[in-house]
Structure 1
Amino acid sequence: MSSSSKRKSEVNSNENSGKKPKNPTANASNSSESNSEQQLLMLPDDFEKLDTNEKFYAAEDRISIEMGHQNIVHEFLEDAAVIKQALLDIIDGKKLHKNLVPRLAKMRRLSRLNHYATSNLKKQTANRLDEVDAKLLQLQNTNSEVQHIQKEIERCLGFSAGDEELNLIPVDEFYEVAPESISQPEITQNDPHKQYLARLEYEEEQRKQLQATLQELEGRRNVLASDIRGKEQRLQSLKPNISAMIKSAIPAQDILGAKYSDVENCAEQKLLSFSLAVPLSVLYVQAMAYKELMDDKHISVKINGTLEGSQKFSKKEEAEIDVKESENSIQKRVEESSSRIFETHPLNIDIGVECVEHDLTIIVNFQYIPELKVATMKWSIDGGHVISKETLLVDLFENDNGEKCPNAIGNVKLEHLKINFDSIAKTVGRPYKVVQALCGDVQEDGEADLTELMRKFIEAIRRRVDNRKMLEKIISDAVKTNSITGGLNIKISSFKSVEEEKFATSIPKSLSQLISSSNLSDFMRYRVEMDDETKKHRLTAWIAIPCDFPRRSPMFGLAMHSEKEEDQFLKDAEDQVNDIKSFGIETLSKQLSNIAQNFDLIISSTTE
């Protein structure tokens, strides 16, 4: 609300209250009063007649501005102090000698002037704020224009005409080789811009000449390509004649005991053997030597891969060595090493071990990992069936489970990257110690005669297959013929393989502890169920058969379906069957027979 509107509202309120309004002209007429009263009322000496409200309000605004808040407050406090002292004198009974009405009027006027001054100050502040806002908006617009201009300048400065990327010849060489019609040394040597234009012109001429040379060479190439295609067609026309000659020579080859395909494969394998990794090359030589020395016709040796793949791998390794030498970042080397830590050489070896009695072949695959400097082994079965084939060659030799990298440097790398061979065992295999020995690392096995070690390796594979087949027969006979229980009224109703997860969650705690303490890398998992003749009582035997059975005996965990959670006799029977001495391949049968003999006692102890 403006000061004039406030004043009008005061006048209206005085009229509505029935009081006589204060006329500004009447106040002006009182200027003839005493000087003291004039000073109290703060009237100027040259006080003019104020015959209108507008003049009066303008005069009061001027007075409030001239006095200022500080003077108004100061005079107000002085008058308040005088009135306060007068009131104290009246309270004390003293006679009042001063007229306080003018001072009260002055205080009221000072209060009004203070409001006028405050209103005027607010108006000035609002005007100044409007000016500041306008200036701020103008500043923002100016800054935006400046930024836009700067961007345009940067874009113009960064504009590339394409000539910056040209690898122009040096200036000295330019003046030596360029014709004077282009170089014009008398003009360009003192003018860098014209010199640069002359160098660009010379570059253009050179490129035109090279383009002409390229077109000429492409024409020659097309002629040669056409000539090559003609010769290829001629060679292809000779192929039927050569095939006919080979077919006609087959009877002679049969008489001589030689076949063209065998000779061709032999030559190809020999060529591939030169590109094998050094450890696999040693293995290949030893396998071929064993095959010839032992005259073992049931052994096959084959190199898998192509010569082109081996050459690409070698070039890639050389490029990576150059990158390693140029890079200083250890972190980059670690990241690259982790990405190809299990990358294998493109050439690998298959050794086929035929087991004639069982009509199957064990194909053992050997691969080499350059980053870890170890050879790995995995296997597959061709033409037959063996129980738990995925663990067939696990623990083939004692204390050799292939879980740890035999190479010290490779092992440190794996520990640093916190990875192991479990994730790639199915695709690459495991680095067994015997494999390192077969590849020439005699420190792993301590035997220098690699041919003898190869003989032991082949025999161990065939012996493992024999043991698995005998184990398969024991399991089959136990269910079909009940030969294990003998004349007892006990029947083996089930003898089944169990998955790893189910086995781990179902076996008794005693068997779990026994497996943990035995340090088995892997084992075969079975569940056997025995019933008495009434089929009211059933005994479950959980069996962990080591992969190298019968070198190590099976471990049993017994469970009886009864109300008793724990039975001491059942635990004693379990300890007894696990303590049976080894009987070779018959150990499992002896253990099952022992359980069958104690079946009645176990039933009686658990049902009491």
Structure 2
Amino acid sequence: MSTDPLKKRKTKVIRGDGGTPETKRIRGDADQDVRVYNEEVELEGRDTEQDYILYKSTCEAVAKLMAEIQDLKASGAKEGSMEVEERRRRGSVQFIALKKLNRMAHMRLKKARDQTHEAKQRVDVLHLQLQNLLYEVLHLQKEIGKCLEFRSQHEEIELVSVDEFFQEAPAEISRPHLTKEDPHQLTLARLDWELEQRKRLAEQYKSSLCTKEKILKGIEMKKEYLNSLQPGLQAIMQASLPVQEYLSMPFERVQKQAEVARHLPPPLYVLLVQASAYGQACDTNLSVSISGDVDEAKALSRPPEDSQDDESDSDAEEEQQNTKRRRATVGVQLDDKRKEMLKRHPLSLCIELNCKDASTVHLDIERVFGAYGSILHLFFYYLMNLNILTVKVKVSASADLSGAISAGELLNPESLLNCLYASDHGQETPNPANRYQFDKVGIVSFADYVAELGHPYVWVQSLGGLHFSSDSPQVEGPHSSLSASHMESTMKLLRGRLQARLALHKQFSSLEHSIVPVSNECQHLFPAKVVSRLAHWTMMSYEEFVELSFVQHVMKAGLVRNTDLFFMATVERGTARLQAAVVLNPRYPEITPLFSLSLLWKGERSGRTDDNLRAMESEVNVFRSELQGPRPGLQLLTNQMQRLCVCLDVYLETESQVCDGSEGPREFPREKMCLRTARGPNRLKPFKYNHPQGFFSHR
């Protein structure tokens, strides 16, 4: 079958990027009509909302056709039936519509992105232009600021005031007719006047230098003349040494000491000056001397630059040796740091207090008690890194002090100066800053180093002008006024402490031999005959004292401290034995010794169970003014012991009459005259002795 020559020409449809189809004629193919479909053109005329509605309706139509096809198949329709195929064709048309809508959506998205990108580029261009403008503004502002802050060099020159300028400057420089109207011309004129003045001052300076050279030459000539006199003066001083010693005018020794004193640390220097001044003015038996390594002290006071230049070679050698050594352990490093922190200044101060200055009234007393002619040596040291002073003590007695066993602790250097002032034990450093220094090197307590370094008493710091009060801020450097205010009182306390301890030492020697020494000045305080006698006098420790049953009330009252001295005295008469526990404060005789009594006779009695024993304790402890004797009261302890013996006689001689009213047992015959043997509901005995009548009465 032949083809029909009149068959229709085929039409070719070409789709562009989008839009409606367009018909074009392709060159070389005259038989075909070409249609170009441009969806972008169509996209511009379509509405988004309408496409969205069309999309929803198309989706609903597809869903409906699918449901109908499913129903047809469920009802038994065949696969290729007309109803099913019809619905398939309609569904395919709907899918084609969906694809078109999808393309439209992508094209809209691409177009929106392109438009956004173009707008962003325009914004970036504008932002860049804005930044450029802001940078230009900032640059202009900086340039303006530099211009405003510009200072000419002439502004640093201190010119005379305008009024002074017009008064002093000549008319050819000041030019008032011009400068008063023009500030610039005024400034130039003032600068010209300043230049003229400086030229004049420079000439004066040159002339002054010439004068200075002439004066220096004259000074050098006089120095040479004075140096030529030095050998002659030294020869005269050497020749006058015997005369100085004979007249007690040691100029040579004082001069040498003054040269060494320049190398003392400030606290020791203040102590030296104040102690020397006090000795010259008030106490001729006080002497001060300096000891130690002067060369080492000079090295410490030398500036760091000089020492560094002198020891550079030795330091280099030490560094080479140290590199060869083993690395030190942590413990060794801490020990080295502790030694460095506790290092003392190479120079120390020694103050000697001589007790041979007793007055004529008390001279015999001090000779009796061994204080006359004894010397107290005080050695003061300065701990450089801790900024505190320490002291060690030594006693040079004029008599032999080895007789009394119980007096072993009286002159112990570790406790001799304890509590010179109240609560000043000298075991801890008074400088609060030292606590933080100790924490760095592992020092728990300064008390562990007191035996080696000395005691840092607060009064020692005051003598050196150091003050560490927490109430007021610490002021740098020692103060001479602080040292001067404490010097006299402290020296009196030191001399009094030595006299009291030497007196106690002599008294203890007698008490250990059962002898209660009573001086002639105190004989009137006691009757002529005292029958009770001291049997034993021994020293005991704080632990032994605490274990006694009849002293517990004293412990509870807080009247005893572990720094006190403790003794046990036993007084006997017949079968009666009285035990007295004695607490001796370091500040004796300022603080009265404390007696606690226990009587072993017809049972055991104490001051807590017997009112008369408590009255005996009062007689011994309370009435200090009657028992202290001549000042400073060095016989207080022995007078207390003698009164204790007298009170025991009264107690025993009157006890039988209180009990049964008889004349008393033969063991204790009544030898004391008493007005009344007992009084009051407590039946207290008459312990007060009345001189010169010689009888006992109640208080």
TM-score w.r.t. the length of structure 2 is 0.42
TM-score w.r.t. the length of structure 1 is 0.48
Which of these two proteins has the greater Rg computed from alpha carbons? 2
